[in-house]
């Protein structure tokens, strides 16, 4: 299994969360971390992965332009059963007030045939430009473990890590 963590970040908070997720995934499966600006051919990039994790900041109650551009450039059914998970960074508060990019991105991915394997996750920033709220990096690593579990990847025990 190969994973791609694809993110958009304006102030660096979403990038920090994406890095934590990628590090946690990398402990179990080969994982590539990339900004939406780094990939030229999304079709090719997605062809090479079994798990796609997409994240971005919540902008105006919705999806950032960078993430929206990536997803909307894909044809309907382009993701044909690809396992996906979505996350966002947003201000503290009820989603009805703050919005959630992750919820909206998961809908966009489903419309293109993706299988969203876990509920969308939100990571809290303390102000419009951050920083991340205390504990959100750890939250990101724990969420990545949930994603792995949902796709059937069992975390190795300490004994297996040393032996294998």
Domain count, the chain: 1
pTM of this structure: 0.92
CATH of the domain at 102: 3.40.50.360
The domain containing residue 44 runs over which residues?
3-163
Give pLDDT tens digits for 18-32.
999 999 999 999 999
What separation in angstroms does the CA of 97 have from each of 14, 18, 63?
20, 24, 15
Give pLDDT tens digits for 26-72.
999 999 999 999 988 887 888 889 999 999 999 988 899 999 999 98
d(CA 120, CA 54): 10
**E strands, the chain, in order:** 3-7, 31-35, 51-59, 62-63, 83-91, 115-116, 121-125
pLDDT above 70 (res 163): no
Check: CB of residue 55 under 8 Å from CB of residue 17: yes
């Amino acid at each position: 299994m190969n994973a791609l963590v694809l993110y958009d970040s304006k102030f660096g908070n979403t990038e920090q969360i994406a890095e934590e997720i990628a590090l946690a995934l990398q402990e179990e499966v080969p994982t590539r971390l990339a900004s939406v600006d780094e990939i030229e051919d999304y079709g090719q990039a997605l062809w090479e992965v079994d798990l796609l994790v997409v994240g971005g900041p919540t902008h105006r109650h919705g999806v950032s332009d960078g993430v929206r551009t990536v997803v909307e450039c894909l044809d309907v059914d382009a993701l044909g059963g690809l396992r996906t998970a979505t996350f966002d960074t947003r201000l503290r508060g009820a989603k009805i007030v703050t919005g959630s990019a992750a919820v909206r991105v998961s809908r966009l991915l489903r419309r293109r045939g993706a299988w969203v394997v876990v509920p969308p996750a939100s990571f809290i920033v303390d102000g419009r430009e951050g920083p991340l709220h205390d504990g959100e990096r750890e939250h990101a690593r724990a969420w990545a473990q949930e994603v792995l579990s949902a796709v059937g990847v069992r975390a190795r025990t300490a004994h297996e890590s040393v032996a294998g």
